Structure 1
């Protein structure tokens, strides 16, 4: 009698290949939520740990779900600030723009100080007989001192003469009491071309004259160099006709512009408002 072979019944298994893309989707979703959370509270250590977690996960082929927790929650920034608002809000409070009334007060103070400074410089001009070489003009936000080149330099040179050095030192001393002003020194020439071993053009000459005059002013340690700038315009900003010798003499000059820094404050507030409007 032949023995009947028993066929063991095998349980049929459901196809589980769908679990692979499903696990990948869960991993990506988790990564998305972790990134969104990290954007909500800036913590350098947390970002470094987060970067390490992703590096390990994507290089080893393991799912983030299969790994031990690497990313830990950083300390609450409100606690670090002693219960105050977060760093961003606190920074905005510290840099809160001036109100309209406060800005008007700053502008009025600026006008008063510019008037005081102009009177001091005009007195210096009168006392030293420099009325033909120097003049001052004042508008709402700027005091402009115009100095003829013959009061500062020899022809076609940028070395400041003795009288010019005394003038630069005196103006610098007057500015000691006005720390809220920015100073721009600009050099100008007439349209007579120049080409020497030292200066290739009027651009070079005008720039170096402005820089040399500024150098002497900044020998005063009480002045902040960050408030100063020097620029050369060559012959391209004349104030008189270059057709006459008198006109050319007027065009050869150094201008010292003294401007209250509230102008910068207004610009910064305008930029801040524009950025807030753009973000909204």
Structure 2
């Protein structure tokens, strides 16, 4: 009598489930990280980094925070990146540099105003600080004889002092010549344009040769009678329009709101 063969049920090999589950977990983690980074939510990213550390390594660090960046870590908590890079929080370097430059401009303005007052030229030399830069406007009667472009010897000390004050700056400096609307035609100057140009050139050369300003920073403009600030129909207006401007150009121009703020800060500083 034959014994019945006993049939043993065979169980399928399920070891493939382990790497499959690991792969799904990793994919899920990747998508969550990508989602969190797309939202630029630093807190959320930090929390998830902590959670992943527990999930993947049982407590050892998966990612280590360095400043505002995350460095990959192995299971032993050793950095996989021997030279970690730090990504700083985005800032506005232009604004901070503009603020520093504005402080310098205000200090220079005050220094030049003090020198002008000492020399007794306060009524003939005016300073204006705006969003483009600092303008030092000097009436022609201080610098030149009537209808001439040669700089008077007596004004040398003041021009040298202005040159010394602005020498430390790396800003461009524009020398601008202006006249009134009374026509001129001499053996030296065919027009007001010629006169304003030669006056600007001579001031520029003085500040470069005697004031030792860098020639790379200097330039001239000549407008003749075509950029008046005052009424040319009066003697006083014409005298104010005959001028040379030394214009220190901002490297980082300010908008009107920032100018107002800086002026208020300056007033408060002077009161204190």
| Fold in common (TM above 0.5) | yes
1:258-280 CA-partner distances (Å, limit 9, x unpaired): 112335xxxxxxxxxxxxxxxxx
CA-based RMSD:
1.5
Matched residue of 2:172: which SS?
A: strand
CA distance in 1, matches of 2:221, 2:143: 17
Check if 1:200 corresponds to 2:190. yes
Cα shift at 1:145: 0.6
**Residue 152 of structure 1, aligned match among 104, 122, 143:** 143
* Unpaired runs of at least 5, structure 2: 1-89, 254-272
Q: CA deviation at 1:164?
A: 2.6
Helix, strand or coil at the partner of 1:181 = coil
Q: 1:196 to 1:221 in 2, by over 3 A?
A: closer
Q: Which residue number corresponds to residue 252 of structure 1? A: 242
Counterpart for residue 215 of structure 2: 225
Find runs of 4+ consecutive structure 1 residues off by over 2 angstroms.
163-167, 220-223, 260-263
Aligned-partner Cα distance in 2 for 1:134–1:194: 24
Q: Which residue of 2 aligns with 1:118?
A: 109
Q: What is the CA distance between 1:222 and its match in structure 2?
A: 4.5
Equivalent residue in structure 1 for 2:93, among 96, 102, 105: 102
Instruction: After TM superposition, give the deviation of residue 166 of structure 1 in Å.
Output: 2.2
Q: Retained in 2: the 8 A contact 1:172–1:223?
A: yes
In structure 2, which of residues 141, 161, 176 is the aligned counterpart of residue 186 of structure 1?
176
Long gaps (5+) in structure 1? 1-98, 264-280
Matches within 5 A, 1:123-142: 123-142=114-133
Structure 1 residues 222, 100: closer, same or farther in 2, change over 3 A? farther
Task: Provide closer, same or farther for how the CA distance between residues 156 and 222 of structure 1 changes in structure 2, counting only shifts above 3 A.
Answer: closer
Write the distance in 1 (CA, Å) between the matches of 2:188 and 2:251. Answer: 35
Render the CA deviation track for 1:184-215: whole Å, top value 9, x for unaligned. Answer: 01000000000001000000000000000111
Asked whether the 8 Å contact 2:177–2:245 carries over to 1, the reply is: yes
Q: Which structure dedicates a bigger proportion of its chain to helix? A: 1
CA 225–206 in structure 1, closer or farther in 2 if over 3 Å, else same = same
Task: Give the structure-1-normalised TM-score.
Answer: 0.56
Matched residue count: 164
